[in-house]
């Protein structure tokens, strides 16, 4: 009886957290990366296609238009720090707070093909305030403090889809749980967490990685060439 009551309490608590979760819709991503910097519960309430400033036609747009569409530094949006976002929008969701739960809630989240072409380092979900730790990588990506996520929970059902690099990426994280998620159409890895302490991945499915990559690896370097 005690076990039954405990199980019931856990179910009620989980349902309450889900009902009180903040809904994420496509409009939350219109300007770029959705930054989670407060603990709490979040859930997808739409199939998210990450394509900031998606009114651009990449076939006819000028180089300047494309650069401004996909480059937060060019746009001058103050919520995107010049150091952390020097490589562009490196994630659809950046979790830089502890004690965050995210439910896919039966929906999907993926990079659009245009952004996947131009943003070659990307994670659908980044579990930190920056893509690299201090002193690592081709640039100083940390302006003040590097903030990795701790006590993060991702639950399905749902799909983390197209990504030019990772489904989930992070550094120095602690206590990460990923349950019931489908990963597909990533180019490098479904989950890549460096020096993680406490990781549990359960009942996830990886049916395929991306098979139709339209460019070579050298394209990434070519994008960064300056006159």
pLDDT tens, position by position, 19-57: 699 999 999 999 899 999 999 999 999 999 999 876 777
pLDDT grade, residue 100 (50/70/90)?
A: very high
pLDDT tens, position by position, 132-141: 887 776 666 6
Predicted pLDDT of residue 207: 95
d(CA 90, CA 41) in angstroms, rounded, equals: 22
| Whether 204 contacts 179, CB under 8 Å | yes
d(CA 139, CA 172) in angstroms, rounded, equals: 19
Ranking 17-21, 29-33, 79-83, 162-166 by mean pLDDT, the lowest is 17-21
Residues shown for the chain: 227
d(CA 147, CA 160) in angstroms, rounded, equals: 23
Tokens linked to 189? 């890895």
Predicted pLDDT of residue 178: 98
pLDDT at 5 over 50: no
Predicted pLDDT of residue 141: 67
* Mean pLDDT of the chain, nearest integer: 85
| CB atoms inside a 10 Å sphere around CB 126 | 26
d(CA 136, CA 9) in angstroms, rounded, equals: 44
pLDDT tens, position by position, 165-212: 999 999 999 999 999 999 999 999 999 999 999 999 999 999 999 999
- Phi/psi at 118 (nearest 5 deg)? -95, -25
Question: Which among 125, 123, 183, 122 has a CA at the least distance from the CA of 149?
Answer: 125
Tokens linked to 44? 């997808």
């Amino acid at each position: 009886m005690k076990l039954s009551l405990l199980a019931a309490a856990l179910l009620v608590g989980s349902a309450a957290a889900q009902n009180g979760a903040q809904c994420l819709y496509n409009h939350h991503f219109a300007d770029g990366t959705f930054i989670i910097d407060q603990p709490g519960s979040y859930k997808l309430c739409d199939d998210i296609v990450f394509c900031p400033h998606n009114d651009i036609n990449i076939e006819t747009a000028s180089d300047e238009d494309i650069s401004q569409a996909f480059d937060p530094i060019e746009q001058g949006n103050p919520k995107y720090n010049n150091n952390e976002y020097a490589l562009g929008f490196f994630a659809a969701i950046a979790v830089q707070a502890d004690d965050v739960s995210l439910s896919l809630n039966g929906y999907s989240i993926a990079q659009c093909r245009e952004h996947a072409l131009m943003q070659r380092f990307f994670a659908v979900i980044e579990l930190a305030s920056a893509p690299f730790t201090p002193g690592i990588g081709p640039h100083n990506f940390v302006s003040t403090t590097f903030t990795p996520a701790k006590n993060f929970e991702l639950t399905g059902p749902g799909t983390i889809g197209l990504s030019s690099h990772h489904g989930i990426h992070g550094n120095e994280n602690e206590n990460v749980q990923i349950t019931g998620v489908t990963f597909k159409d990533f180019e490098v890895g479904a989950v890549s967490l460096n020096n993680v302490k406490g990781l549990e991945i359960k009942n996830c499915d990886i049916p395929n990685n991306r098979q139709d990559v339209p460019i070579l690896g050298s394209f990434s370097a070519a994008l960064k060439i300056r006159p």
